Chain A
Amino acid sequence: MSITLKPRRTQTTRRGLRAALATVSAVSLVVLTACGVTSDGGDPGGDLSDQRLRMMIPNAAGGGYDLTGRAAVKVMEDEGVADRFEVSNVEGASGTVAMQRLLNEEGSDDLLMTMGLGVVGAVYTNQSDATVDKAIPIARLIEEQEAIIVPADSPFTTVNDFVEAWKADPDKVIIGGGSAPGGPDHLFPMQLADAVGVTPNDVAYVEYDGGGPLTTALLGSKIDVGMSGLGEFAGQIEDGSLRVLAVSGAERLDTTDAPTLTEEGIDLVFTNWRGVLAPPGVDDATVDAYIDAFEEMHDTQAWKDVLEQNGWSDNFATGDEFGEFLNEQNDRVRTTLTDLGLA
């Protein structure tokens, strides 16, 4: 499972995903309020095990952020790290709507939001000023490597075959990705182009609405190269109809027999990561309590099981370390998108 379920538009059902959640959470909110249990009454900071918290998910149920956020919440509840989370999906503009809502709730000491690389870029392409550096970083949870995928009968057998052809004529190598401009599958080829000496503006990028349509295009050889997380291609890679030229992380994956870019002499490490933010204006004691809670969650066996079940790589960081990383990512994404005229 990867970010590629991220909705864009046209699919009613997809939008419908968030509806029942919203309904359910609205109903439960009403019920809770009626019982006189509100989240504002508790003592912020310290132990979270008697706190009622809210987790906002910036895309539809079943999408990448949703699976990550809900898995984290479930482990925290089951292990007694936190008392109860109310999860709501706030969909729209690839996460921009949720990001705006997070910043609007300045000082709310019961709200967290799951986000990731896609949200960093989406706020720029949507020309919103709700950038991620305005929120308080809590924890980076997981990462997923991008892969360079070609159809079985592609002339490219190594990533360098592809890069050579690409450098010779970027117009002749059509690249598809499962995200809109600003999303991980778009940022990756742009940064790769930069790293190998192709002008990002010359990249022939074709946007697909998630992993399904991208797979279709690859299987039909409509495009030359696909760039996306590996999650949705497992079956095709297994049966040999698609091949992986390289993966984008610092180290090889156990599950996929493909070199990293650095092994192949390309100086680029790129991962699609997901983490958790809190709104600005939350006091330090609460932030520390959040961080403690996520650290506690990260140490549980249940979380390790979740990582394995979903094929996610552990890439845990909290507080300042995550904050520095977030700022670095934010700058890098902004530069890439500004160069392309998209931000």
Chain B
Amino acid sequence: MDLLLDGFAAALTPTNILFAVLGVLLGTAVGVLPGIGPAMTVALLLPVTYSVPAESALIMFAGIYYGGMYGGSTTSILLNTPGESSSVITALEGNKMAKTGRAAQALATAAIGSFVAGTIGTVLLILLAPTVGPLVVKLGAPSYFAIMLLALVSVTVVLGSSKLRGFIALFLGLAMGLVGMSSGQPRMTFGFAELSDGIEIVVVAVAIFALGEALWVAAHLRRTPLEIIPAGRPWMSRSDWSRSWKPWLRGTAFGFPFGALPAGGAEIPTFLSYVTERRLSKHPEEFGKGAIEGVAGPEAANNASAAGTLLPMLALGLPTTATAAVILVAFESYGLQPGPQFMTQNEELVWALLASLFVANALLLVLNLPLAPVWAKLLRIPRPYLYAGILFFATLGAYSASASAFDLGLLLVLGVLGFAMRRFAIPVLPLIIGVILGPRLEEQLSEALDISRGDYSTLWGEPAAIICYLVMALVVAGLVAAQLRGNRQDTRTPETEKDEVHT
């Protein structure tokens, strides 16, 4: 405890607070822009490590990391244009909330959820890093494969009312995930070297969500009367609070372990949180129309996963995300080598860093919460201008990602696909999940089989894997039982189906 207090004393010097503020501001800014992420920002700022003391630089980088996770949600909610892949799920309910005049509440639940999750995550980090750290390397590819397969099974919950359309979307997503290099050979790249790194999740999400919707709105602009977005209340109501706090905690519970696991990542916990909230919600009818739980959970999950990522980094010197990898480079340029001995040898620095995570979190809340109602006013811009702005923003993001015309073309092609999906009432969530999960599943499967030299029994060779398969069996059994009892979802009215078109 004393150590933590000393840490706060170090983190709260005026200079370090200034660096923390700078970090969260920068992080929020890059989180907002699609195509520009915290990893690149930290990489570009690496030269500051030559002139700034270690504490200050690391505090700023931690601020950028947390800020980036938060900033991605703002454009997801307001413009349906996710800034980061971990904010893709937030767009689903968040943007629907914004359209019904509840943008301020969506932004607020995202900000407070991020704060809660980031704080709990940091506490867990402090408690667990010394003991649990060495354990995270025990999980191997077979376990990750099983965990991701379990995640894929949970997708069936969100396939929508028409299973056929749901599966069409899911397989479209999985097919897109196949594009790229495999075992050193190009696959489905059609001769474009630009495709050999695979199709970016953010490009897919921006195209399908933002472009698809802009085209859809443009196609109907003259035929449908202008919807006025109601002004709405500026703050969260009592019921918003009571509907948010459980998803925040559950989202944290998903996010932290996935962040801490070397192959976990921030995307999978966000949609696990989403499907869980959709399952557990007392207002399932609101999902697809702007349920606050669908914003609170995933936003908590992505911030908790950012905290989780720091666990293997501090305890083992293992970077599990691009941002963590670049932060590790920063450590090394100070001659610091995170790893088992790091936490004991550099106690002061570590505690200052952990304390600064609390500070960064608090700063994010202070900066962003009052801004929520201000941002929400953005939506009062007349529709033609608003969508023109969204198109501009999405295009800029896709282009700046690599300054290549190819990505623009890709964005437009996928945008037309997004339009077509709305036209034919195909839900977009299964597609996004397919794009996220497909390549991950394949990577783990091929790693597991490479190691076992093609022996499939390796897939159930780890305890964690077996547990996942048992849970999967239970889920499937439950679904079959529900089906036999006559699932109510099948008798949903076409009305519900139509709403999910825009999901």
Contacts and interface: CB of A to CB of B under 8 A. Distances in A.
B158 to A, nearest CB: 22
Contact of B39 (A16, A94, A210): A16
A184 B179 CA distance: 24
A62 interface: yes
A219 interface: yes
B197 A15 contact: yes
A126 B328 CA distance: 30
Given A7-B197, A212-B318, A17 B43 contact: yes
Contact of A96 (B35, B196, B262, B320): B196
Contacts of B439: 9-10
A206 B41 contact: no
B198 A20 contact: no
Contacts of B312: 216
Interface residues of B, number: 72
B355 to A, nearest CB: 23
A127 B191 CA distance: 9
A128 interface: yes
Contacts of B341: 235, 238-239
Contact of B40 (A17, A180, A234, A309): A17
A97 interface: yes
B40 A204 contact: no
Contact of A13 (B39, B140, B402, B404): B39
A205 B450 contact: yes
Given A15-B200, A174-B451, A62 B39 contact: yes
Contact of B403 (A22, A66, A93, A208): A22
B323 interface: yes
Given A62-B42, A204-B453, A216-B137, 17 more contacts: A12-B202, A15-B35, A15-B202, A16-B202, A20-B36, A62-B329, A90-B402, A125-B185, A204-B451, A209-B443, A213-B262, A213-B263, A219-B316, A219-B318, A220-B138, A236-B316, A309-B333
A19 B262 contact: no
Interface of B: 30, 33, 35-44, 46, 68, 84-85, 136-141, 180-181, 183-186, 193-194, 196-198, 200-202, 262-263, 312, 316-326, 328-329, 332-333, 337-342, 400-404, 439-440, 443, 447, 450-451, 453
Contact of B402 (A5, A12, A19, A180): A19
B431 to A, nearest CB: 17
A222 B339 contact: no
Nearest to B326: A62
A119 B120 CA distance: 44
A61 interface: yes
B193 A93 contact: yes
A223 B452 CA distance: 10
Interface string A1-41: 10001011111111111111111111000000000000000
Given A11-B321, A92-B197, A128-B193, A61 B184 contact: no
A93 B40 contact: no
Contact of B400 (A26, A171, A215, A342): A26
Nearest to B199: A9
Contacts of B443: 10, 209
A24 B40 CA distance: 12
Contact of A62 (B325, B447, B451): B325
Contacts of A127: 186
B338 A235 contact: yes
B41 A20 contact: yes
Nearest to B139: A220
Interface in A83-119: 88, 90-94, 96-97, 100
B184 A238 contact: no
Given A62-B39, A91-B197, A14 B44 contact: no
A15 B196 CA distance: 13
6 contacts: A9-B180, A10-B439, A16-B35, A16-B202, A92-B197, A220-B137
A20 B140 CA distance: 35
Contact of B401 (A8, A9, A16, A209): A16
A60 interface: yes
A210 B329 CA distance: 14
In the complex, the 7 A-B pairs of residues with the closest C-beta atoms, listed nearest first: A181-B184, A16-B37, A235-B339, A62-B43, A17-B40, A14-B322, A220-B137
B339 A239 contact: yes
A137 interface: no
A241 B312 CA distance: 15
A182 interface: yes
A242 B373 CA distance: 53
A16 B40 contact: yes
Contacts of A96: 193, 196
B193 A23 contact: no
Nearest to A1: B329
Contacts of A241: 340
Nearest to A309: B333
Given A20-B41, A96-B193, A238-B339, A180 B201 contact: no
A232 B318 CA distance: 9
Contacts of A24: 44
A342 B184 contact: yes
A92 B322 contact: no
